[in-house]
Structure 1
Amino acid sequence: MTTLPDRPNTALLVIDVQNGVVARAHNRDGVIANIRSLVDKARAAKVPVIWIQHSDDELEYGSERWQYVPELVRNESEPLLHKHYCDSFEDTELEAVLAERRVGHLVVTGAQTDACIRSTIHGAFVRGYDVTLVGDAHTTEPFTVDGAPTAEQVINHTNLYWHGHCAPGRRGETVSTAEVTFAPTPVG
């Protein structure tokens, strides 16, 4: 249903599941286990898995905090894109990587819900992609000391408003890890 022509394929995005990003995240271990399950499902179906890795002043490139969590291991054949902004499309090669694979539907996982996840799902949607947010495979850390809602409330609210998100020719949805099924991506 994407508005992008000739883009029948799906890809799994794994966004910023880095040591310094998820160290204090809500349900860290459960979310990482769900992402690992989705990565395994995508690989089994030959669906592209695309890894996104953030760096900035607080997440210095190459540092231990910048490294992906040890529970998630990228295959060498899977693209790894480095970013400096919340939206994974901004100033990266993500669009080119997706176009090359004829992807028009994204399944999104990772961290942080209230920053890079929200920015990326909206960025994808306005660019014409169908976007599935996996509701139990994204997380954030608590910012309640700054007056924000709890991490659980932020996650729940994001899942609620993304479910049924629509615009002409494209849709957004929220599903659980158990509900995700990947159809094999055709070769060629």
Structure 2
Amino acid sequence: MMDAKSPANRIRDAVHLCVDMQNIFAPGGLWETPWMEKVLPTIVSIVSRYRVRTVFSRFITPQDPEDRPGQWQHYFRRWRQATRNHLLPSALELVPELAQFVPPARVVDKPAYSAFSNSDLASLLIEKKVGSVVITGAETDVCVLSTVLSAVDLGFKVVIVEDALCSSSDVGHDALMTMYRTRFHGQVDLVTAEELAEFWRE
């Protein structure tokens, strides 16, 4: 948790990285994340405030399982209906409530869990002189987790908006919130959306 009274904890030189808020994870999607609907209004509010500073990532599945290396082939043979040969293209689009912000918000596509598996993302953030990455999206314990750890490894300060994350696993979500609070002091901060508006003023 960040201390609102400390100027050192103000969020500066930041980008809002919204992870994988796509139709495939929305209600009725192949990989439905049941409480995406609950956090979506919060994420819309954040994007509307920082639309120029928002980057959306999209998880793009392969055309065929064989288009990915190693264990990903096994994964997509199991989830063959998620490959682009079987999936409607609209499933991989951002949910409409967020797609309306592009542009000025930007979109980066990724082949794996971490948003930084798109090698252009780190270059884009460095080019923008970004020091902090504010993270929202889906899922807390898969793509968000991988993105957070990549951002930490790259030296970014990570701010996680805890009421703007969703998962299909309550247990996984709760475990990750505990881990962030206890294992990443100085590298990862948790805030609410309300606190974000206080800490990050453009």
Q: TM-score range by the shorter chain?
A: 0.7 to 0.9
- Residue deviations 1:109-140 (CA, integer Å, cap 9, x gap): 11112211000000000110110111111112
Distance verdict in 2 for CA 1:52–1:82, change over 3 Å:
same
Structure 1 letter corresponding to 2:135 = V
- Residue deviations 1:137-183 (CA, integer Å, cap 9, x gap): 11122xxxxxxxxx22221221221125437xx52011111111222
State yes or no: 1:94 paired with 2:121. yes
In 2: Cα distance, 1:92 partner to 1:101 partner: 15
State yes or no: 1:119 paired with 2:146. yes
Structure 2 letter corresponding to 1:175 = V
Q: Does the aligned pair in 2 maintain the 1:9–1:104 contact within 8 Å?
A: yes
In 2: Cα distance, 1:78 partner to 1:161 partner: 30
**Which of 160, 178, 185 lines up with 1:133 in the alignment?**
160
Structure 1 position 54, deviation (Å): 1.0
Q: CA RMSD in A?
A: 2.0
Q: Does the aligned pair in 2 maintain the 1:14–1:110 contact within 8 Å?
A: yes
Structure 1, unpaired ranges of 5+: 1-7, 142-150
Structure 2, unpaired ranges of 5+: 1-11, 63-81
- 1:177 aligned residue: 193
Q: Does the aligned pair in 1 maintain the 2:48–2:101 contact within 8 Å?
A: no
Task: State TM-score, norm by structure 1.
Answer: 0.79
Aligned residues: 163
In 2: Cα distance, 1:78 partner to 1:50 partner: 6
- 2:180 aligned residue: 162
Structure 1 letter corresponding to 2:90 = E
- 1:144 aligned residue: none
Q: Secondary structure of the equivalent of 1:71?
A: helix
Which one has a bigger Cα radius of gyration?
Answer: 2
- 1:56 aligned residue: 61
**Which of 36, 39, 43 lines up with 1:35 in the alignment?**
43
- Residue deviations 1:27-67 (CA, integer Å, cap 9, x gap): 22121111101112223xx6x10111111142538712111
Higher strand residue share: 1
Structure 1 position 90, deviation (Å): 1.5
- 2:25 aligned residue: 21
